[in-house]
Chains A and B, each alone.
Chain A
């Protein structure tokens, strides 16, 4: 029905989908098939944001995504942000502000904030960015440091 190739890329590495069952969630493909454990499984219902990855540069919840829906797309996980300038700035800001306690939610926050900065650039205020991170939960309730990290990265935007 469609001519899209049965493959996608994860962090620029091609993944052949012919061996992936059609019911597999992108979260499972990333964590268990590819061994990229930075992406976390939290609520499994789209409420916590721990499983956030980028698809073609935009944040999505990998627990609510079937891998086969995105044939031909470019998936980026938190590991793939290493070489990304925006992603690197976000990671550095979280580090400098100590914006994590147990760290389980951190990859989701980093990926979600990177997506927001790529989407809106400097036009969004730090307050808007923080509000738009409302889909990411920190069960340690370490939000004050996370908001500081948001302010820091916003202030450092070129």
Chain B
């Protein structure tokens, strides 16, 4: 049984103070805990303290016009149950539903998923496609970073040692979709995830993929090949081919690089078509 102290701050100041105790690596920050609370015994650096974010007042969700702000410790199940999410940002709803199981989503959080920065994350691709911003709080003050700058590599983010993710801002509700492929459909890790969103304000597509190394990425070259909200078959095929060539896939125990390249081409075309067919799409009466 690992011995450590357990800190449960109830205010932001208390939480930031708790992060300053001890040396880096001795403290584990726990939001939902679903990705960090196993294997406590096998750590290289002995754990001295666990800081649980559960009692912070960050389990929030608020719509303001076209934008949505999600508190970092809101359980994903609460986010997916929001009465407007499925209709207004279908891709985010699909991505949240893709994470683990219901029991897992009763605890797992958006902040935890971003903070852990897995290359196979089902949430990071859609957050990229929605041009989301990470709201960060630290002893030196607050700052905001686009997800594209926040996520750096596997298990590596721009978050400083004294900082916490407080919320995630999604600036615009976009017609969107998230599709994935897995060995087992339920409660498994995606081999490839494809997120697409059409921005009515910028009149352009955003395309992001997961299951790549070292981190999920946007594919601007493929985005530019799609001219409007309802791309034709030739345009779609060109974008799919571009994405298939460009995405930084690799072979691992879940899938080969070649299989992933074929997957992304298929999933991208299906996802873009799904956005065009969805009731939230521009032009659909």
Contact assessment for B33 and A2 in the assembled complex, using a CB-CB cutoff below 8 Å = no
Chain B residues whose C-beta falls within 8 Å of the C-beta of A46 in the assembled complex: 34, 38, 100-101, 104
Other-chain contact of A23, B4, B54, B55, B102 (Cβ < 8 Å) = B4
Shortest C-beta distance, B105 to chain A (Å), equals 9
Contact with A along B136-162 (1 / 0, CB 8 A): 000000000000000000000000000
Residue of A nearest to B55 (CB): A2
Contact assessment for B10 and A135 in the assembled complex, using a CB-CB cutoff below 8 Å = no
Contact assessment for B52 and A69 in the assembled complex, using a CB-CB cutoff below 8 Å = yes
Contact assessment for A49 and B37 in the assembled complex, using a CB-CB cutoff below 8 Å = no
Contact assessment for B10 and A1 in the assembled complex, using a CB-CB cutoff below 8 Å = yes
Contact assessment for B14 and A1 in the assembled complex, using a CB-CB cutoff below 8 Å = yes
Residue of A nearest to B15 (CB): A1
Contact with B along A42-61 (1 / 0, CB 8 A): 00111101001001001111
Chain A residues whose C-beta falls within 8 Å of the C-beta of B14 in the assembled complex: 1
Contact assessment for B6 and A68 in the assembled complex, using a CB-CB cutoff below 8 Å = yes
Contact assessment for B4 and A22 in the assembled complex, using a CB-CB cutoff below 8 Å = yes
State the interface size on chain A (CB cutoff 8 A): 35
Known: A2-B10, A64-B33, A66-B33. A59 touches B102 (CB 8 A): yes
Residue with the highest number of chain A CB atoms closer than 10 Å, among B4, B30, B34: B34
Other-chain contact of B106, A22, A24, A60, A131 (Cβ < 8 Å) = A60
Contact assessment for B6 and A22 in the assembled complex, using a CB-CB cutoff below 8 Å = yes
Contact assessment for B101 and A136 in the assembled complex, using a CB-CB cutoff below 8 Å = yes
Tell whether B7 is near chain A: CB-to-CB under 8 Å: yes
In the complex, what distance in Å separates the CA atom of A52 from the CA atom of B104? 10
User: How many pairs of A and B residues are in contact by the CB < 8 Å rule?
Assistant: 95
Chain B residues whose C-beta falls within 8 Å of the C-beta of A22 in the assembled complex: 3-6, 50
Tell whether A155 is near chain B: CB-to-CB under 8 Å: no
Contact assessment for A65 and B10 in the assembled complex, using a CB-CB cutoff below 8 Å = no
Shortest C-beta distance, A23 to chain B (Å), equals 4
Contact with A along B12-35 (1 / 0, CB 8 A): 001000100000000000100110
Residue of B nearest to A120 (CB): B81
Other-chain contact of A134, B38, B55, B186 (Cβ < 8 Å) = B186
Residue with the highest number of chain A CB atoms closer than 10 Å, among B14, B77, B103, B107: B103
Contact assessment for B40 and A69 in the assembled complex, using a CB-CB cutoff below 8 Å = no
Chain A residues whose C-beta falls within 8 Å of the C-beta of B185 in the assembled complex: 134
Known: A23-B2, A60-B107. A47 touches B55 (CB 8 A): no
Tell whether B241 is near chain A: CB-to-CB under 8 Å: no
A 57-115 contacts with B by CB, 8 A: 58-61, 63-66, 68-69, 71, 112, 115
Tell whether A16 is near chain B: CB-to-CB under 8 Å: no
Contact with B along A1-28 (1 / 0, CB 8 A): 1101000000000000000011111000
Other-chain contact of A60, B10, B55, B103 (Cβ < 8 Å) = B103
Chain A residues whose C-beta falls within 8 Å of the C-beta of B8 in the assembled complex: 1-2, 4, 69, 71
Chain A residues whose C-beta falls within 8 Å of the C-beta of B103 in the assembled complex: 49, 52, 59-61, 112, 115, 135
Tell whether B227 is near chain A: CB-to-CB under 8 Å: no
Tell whether A127 is near chain B: CB-to-CB under 8 Å: no
In the complex, what distance in Å separates the CA atom of A60 from the CA atom of B103? 4
Tell whether B282 is near chain A: CB-to-CB under 8 Å: no
Contact assessment for B9 and A1 in the assembled complex, using a CB-CB cutoff below 8 Å = yes
Contact assessment for A135 and B37 in the assembled complex, using a CB-CB cutoff below 8 Å = no
Listed from nearest, the 6 A-B pairs whose CB atoms lie closest are A135-B101, A134-B186, A59-B103, A22-B6, A23-B2, A135-B187
Question: Other CB < 8 Å A-B pairs besides A134-B187, A135-B101, 19 of them?
Answer: A1-B8, A1-B10, A2-B8, A2-B10, A4-B55, A22-B3, A46-B38, A46-B100, A49-B103, A64-B33, A65-B107, A66-B50, A69-B8, A69-B33, A112-B102, A112-B103, A116-B102, A135-B100, A136-B101
17 A-B contact pairs sorted by A residue (CB < 8 Å): A1-B8, A1-B9, A2-B8, A4-B8, A4-B55, A25-B37, A46-B104, A58-B106, A60-B103, A60-B106, A64-B34, A66-B50, A69-B33, A132-B101, A134-B101, A134-B185, A135-B100
